[in-house]
Amino acid sequence: MGTDGAREAAVEAITAAVTGAGLEVECPREGSFLVTLPGSAKLRTLVWLEAGPHSLTLTSFFCRQPDENHAAFYLWLMRKNTDMYGMAFAADEVGDVYIRGRLPLEGVTPGEVDRLLGCVLTYSDENFNGALERGFASAIRKEWKWRAERGHDMRNLSAFTHLTDAGDDR
């Protein structure tokens, strides 16, 4: 199959996978898909799929550069890479973190797209709180204190109770 035929088949496979899964998707241009995946720890994960001339590229923003503990933060993510399927954590020039993957067009099937989307959701959702704990603990403590003093809702911070004085009361 030629380059155009492989790209066309990949676009059809991506369309079938996201439609079959009932996912929210935008297609800003031919061969490009912005897919929204619902999560738990990270409430939604956006995944950019781009069917290029030779490969499918997957890009998902994970989190901004850490405020603190940079070495331990990035080392922890690099260690996570060893067990990831088809993708890895990567940092851009300012230190923001993405999940990136690349697959030859010939390997793009609806089943493989579904698998890759499931993987990026799992990696994003399961590692989000751990990343925040390592790179943003001071900000979490500050936000906790600010909300507690004002009686604001703490539900979305409940996973971080152990980082605060409130964690000592349990």
Q: Six-digit token pair at 76?
A: 């922890």
**151 and 80 share a domain?**
no
Q: List, for residues 73-110, the tens digit of each pLDDT value.
A: 999 999 999 999 999 999 999 999 999 999 999 999 99
Does the pTM of the predicted model rise above 0.95?
no
Do 95 and 65 reside in the same domain of the chain? yes
Domain shared by 148 and 68, yes or no: no
Residues 99 and 29 in one domain: yes
Do 108 and 32 share a domain, yes or no?
Answer: yes
Q: What is the CATH number of the domain that holds 84?
A: 3.30.1460.10
With CA atoms as reference, report the closest residue to 123 among 101, 143, 144, 106.
101
Distance CA 64, CA 97 (A): 6
Which residues, at least 6 apart from 4, have a Cβ–Cβ distance to it below 8 Å?
none
The reported pLDDT for the residue numbered 167 is: 52
At residue 148 the predicted structure's pLDDT band, cuts being 50, 70 and 90, is: confident
Domain total in the chain:
2
Q: Are residues 108 and 159 in the same domain?
A: no
Same domain, residue pair 131 and 143: no
